[in-house]
Amino acid sequence: MELTHLDPSGQARMVDVGTKADTHRTAVARGTVTMSHTAYDAIVQGNVKKGDALGAARIAGIMAAKRTSDLIPLCHPIPLTRVEVRCEPVDGRIEVEARVESVGKTGVEMEALTAVSVAALTIYDMVKSIDRGMTISEVKLVSRSGGKSGEWHADDQPA
């Protein structure tokens, strides 16, 4: 198996995507923030001292997707055409989902994963005065499409 981010001498390099065709690319990632009932209730009722935790998390996730190449070494800067971040309270936890789209030469999986991660970290930051024991878990790619690899869905993978 050839590792695309290593040159022939084993040194890290940025992959040349210049000859790849521009295609519509999408990626969806998800993660979970689990917390105490007190922290969860504060978020749902809008009683977080720092303000709207879910609104701040959505904006942080969008901003993070746009800055992924500044954060992840060897990641290409990509002109994004859409970033949507959802933060939904569900049974004592916050489910975070990001959908990222672009028309370009390389995929947007890292942008979706970064959006989810930073949105989850923002929720933690907004509510840490109530619950420092929150956990961020299950950050994963759910689906991707575009390019020569085509469609991929986590649900289609063997366990």
**CA 109 remoteness from chain centre:** 8
Catalytic residue among 125, 131, 155, 156: 125
Name the phi and psi angles at 59, rounded to 5. Answer: -65, -45
Sign, Cα dihedral of 81, 109, 25, 89: negative
Strand order in the sheet with 93-104: 80-90, 93-104, 23-34, 135-145, 152-153
Nearest by Cα to 123 from 28, 27, 50, 29: 50
Strand partners, 153: 143
| Placement of tokens 């030469």 in the chain | 105
70 in catalytic set: no
Which sequence positions are flagged as catalytic?
125
